[in-house]
Amino acid sequence: MPPGEDPRNYARTLAAVYDATMAGDKSPARPRDVVRQSWQRLKDLGVDPEQNHTEPSMDVAELDLRRRESGLYDVLDDVTRGLESVTASGENIMVVADIHGTVLWRSGSHRVLDQAARLGFIEGANWAENSVGTNAIGTALVSSQAVQIFSAEHYARSHHSWTCAGAPIRDPRDGRVIGVVDISGPAKTVHPTTLALVDAVARLAQSHLRDKHRDNLDQLRSVAAPMLARGSSPALVTDSHGWVAAVDSLPHRTRILLPTAMTPGKTWFPSLGLCELNPLPGGWLIRPTTSGTEIAAAAIHIDLRDSENMSVTVTSGSGEWTYSPTPRHAEILFLLGSERSGRTASQLAHDLFGDSARTVTVRAEMSRLRKNLAGVVAAQPYRFVDAADVTLSVPDVGAYLLPFSSAPAVCASRLHQADSEA
């Protein structure tokens, strides 16, 4: 809500905008972009704003499993302490949800918790956008940004008496969103500073995860040091996610792409060639046995159907690797997967930025991408190697194609797909 705005007047304006928009009439004002885009996504999916179909809560065992697998256990105390000042008043509740929008934890006054429960806002419930409509948890996950949803900005009419502010929590190891922290309460509790506070707490949680990651690498480094000292051949040590803890007689790398299933023995790596793998507590000792990086043949599947769970899977006779691309790399992979003849740096600059002169930025991004997909992504022009069998999976609805992207070529593809759907 804009600073200085009277909540009651603002709620009345939003209600008028909501009613007109849902009825297809001329609206007295334009919804905020994040809200308008959310409403459009839900209309495309055929979600009824008059019906609130919250998915049934899962049982205790499944909820506990979701909590343990979420990667959020370690930051729960930070989040709870950071938002105590808001929940202490008894007017709001704090919620932590996972990447799927599943409510994992709630805390706050019993009165507000009971009010939330009447909407199905309980542990184990699914509050993804396509489940309950526009809300701070689901919409923050789709948009990958902190959002505040007030009153009639909610898509479901039954939620108009509420306000919520949510911010995504990212895994510092790869930048992927792993969950959302949210503050919710009756609409009268709305405050323009709540969004900034929730976003700050989410960043604090990410800082805690970053420190924990560094501590784990330091511990792995101390375990591996004697082995590297005794060895006579180049080697590196990584954690189970491919982050490099130590290197001996090899170029420095921050991270390497690991096979989906790691087993001791000989395995081909995109950036290292054939290597000997040996397990360590919390990681792997990797010793290259050849200098070759090219892969004879591979099946490459680029999956962009879910903007929060994008992946590139490389399958060859030596194993299977799955890479989770950054948003920028997802754009590039979409372009290269759509145009097998390849794109020059100048063409990619025009595709991504509308400016063919921004080749330095493109080359830097391609250098980072090829470190993860060396041997399957070639240069001059940038392309997938001829031996690769590439498949590209995109959303069925054009509006969902890389919704975070403003790249001209991606926007043009969305329009083309929309025309085809029409």
Tens of pLDDT, residues 275-287: 889 999 989 999 9
Q: Which has the closest alpha carbon to 145: 163, 169, 121, 126?
A: 169
Which pLDDT score, from 0 to 100, does residue 1 have?
A: 67
CATH of the domain at 53: 3.30.450.40
CA 341 to CA 386: how far, in whole Å? 9
Q: In the predicted model, what is the mean pLDDT of residues 247-272? A: 83
Determine which of 78-92, 294-308, 357-371 has the lowest per-residue pLDDT on average: 294-308
Which residues make beta-bridge pairs with 277?
A: 265, 286
Report in angstroms the alpha-carbon separations of 230 from 224, 235, 248, 250, 279.
10, 11, 11, 16, 16
Strand order in the sheet with 319-323: 319-323, 311-316, 298-303, 388-393
Distance CA 144, CA 167 (A): 8
pLDDT at 266: 81
- Average pLDDT over the chain reads 89
pLDDT band at 156 (very low <50, low <70, confident <90, very high): very high
137 and 12 part of one domain: yes
Residue 125 covered by a domain: yes
> Is the predicted pLDDT of residue 391 greater than 80, yes or no?
yes
CB of 259 closer than 8 Å to CB of 320 = yes
In a domain, 2, yes or no: no
Tell me, what's the pLDDT at 399? Answer: 72
pLDDT at 293 over 60: no
Asked whether residue 39 falls in the same domain as residue 157, the answer is yes
- pLDDT tens digits, one per residue of 38-81: 999 999 988 899 887 666 678 899 999 999 999 999 899 989 98
Clarify whether residues 267 and 132 are in a common domain: no
Same domain, residue pair 272 and 247: yes
Parallel, antiparallel or unpaired: strands 265-269 and 273-280: antiparallel
For residues 54 and 11, membership in a common domain is answered with yes
* Encoded tokens for 266: 């000989």
CB 356 within 8 A of CB 344: no
pLDDT at 11 over 70: yes
Main-chain phi, psi angles of 240, to 5 degrees:
-70, -5
Contact between 239 and 223 under an 8 Å Cβ cutoff? The reply is no
Q: What is the chain's length?
A: 422
Average pLDDT over residues 334-344: 93
Cβ-based neighbours of 210, under 8 Å, separated by 6 or more: 172
Q: Is the pLDDT of residue 292 over 60?
A: no
311 and 379 share one domain: yes
CA separation for the pair 239, 4 (Å, rounded): 50
The average pLDDT across 96-102 equals 95
Residues 149 and 278 in one domain: no
The answer to whether the bond into 381 is cis (omega within 30° of 0) is yes
pLDDT at 56: 66
Does one domain contain both 161 and 253? no
pLDDT confidence tier of residue 117, bands split at 50, 70 and 90: very high
Please report the pLDDT score of residue 186 as a whole number. Answer: 94
Q: How many domains does the chain have?
A: 3
The CA–CA distances, whole Å, from 282 to 101, 117, 163, 288, 309 equal 29, 40, 43, 20, 25
Q: In this predicted structure, what is the pLDDT of residue 386? A: 85
Q: CA-CA distance, 349 to 211, in Å (whole number)?
A: 35
Overall average pLDDT of the 340-369 stretch: 94
Among 288, 312, 333, the domain boundary falls at: 288
The domain in which residue 411 lies consists of 298-421
Question: 115 falls in which pLDDT band (50, 70, 90)?
Answer: very high
Q: What is the pLDDT of residues 402-419, one digit of tens each?
A: 999 999 999 999 888 777
Q: Give me the mean pLDDT over the 216-229 stretch.
A: 92
Q: What is the mean pLDDT of residues 110-133?
A: 93
pLDDT at 296: 58
With 70 as the cut, is the pLDDT of residue 347 above it? yes
Among the listed ranges 24-33, 40-49, 261-270, which one has the minimum average pLDDT value? Answer: 261-270
- Domain with residue 393: its CATH number is 1.10.10
Q: Do 186 and 274 belong together in one domain?
A: no
Predicted pLDDT at 318: 67
**Does 283 share its domain with 303?**
no
How confident is the model at residue 55, as a pLDDT? 65
Q: Look at 19-23, 58-62, 316-320, 324-328 and tell me which has the smallest mean pLDDT.
A: 316-320
* Residue-wise DSSP of 156-202: SGGGTTEEEEEEEEE-TTT--EEEEEEEEEEGGG--TTHHHHHHHHH
DSSP symbol at 5? -
Q: Are residues 23 and 149 in the same domain?
A: yes
- Residue 93 located in a structural domain: yes
Residues 282 and 306 in one domain: no
Question: Any idea which of 49-63, 110-124, 337-351 has the lowest mean pLDDT?
Answer: 49-63
